[in-house]
Structure 1
Amino acid sequence: MNNDDGKKGILPMRTRRINDRRVKLMAAAKCFTLVWIVFTVATTGCAPLIANFMHVTGADLTPAAYEGLEKSSVAVVTITENSRFGDDISATMLSHAVGKILTSEVKDIELVRDDEVANWRDVHGWDQIDFAEIGRGVKADKVVAIEVLNLSLQEGPTLFRGQANIHLSVIESKSGEVLFSTDVEDFTYPTIAGGVSTSETTEARFRKLFVGNILAKRIARQFHPFDARDDFALDSITAR
Structure 2
Amino acid sequence: MIRNYIDEDYLSGYIPNLDSLLFTGETNFNKQKVLAEIEVANDFINSNYKGLFIRNDLSLRKSGTTLSATTTETISSEDKLTRLRWVVDVKVLTGVDKTLTLYGTNDSGDNYTELNSMTIGTTNVGSIISQTLAVPYTAYKVTATVPSGTLDYSSLMTETGYDTLYALKWGGLIYFQNYKKEDDQYFSKYNEFKKRYDAEFAKFVVNYGDEINEEDTFGSNPRSITMLK
Give the TM-score category using the shorter length: under 0.3
Higher share of residues assigned strand: 2
State the TM-score, normalized to the length of structure 1.
0.21
Higher share of residues assigned helix: 1
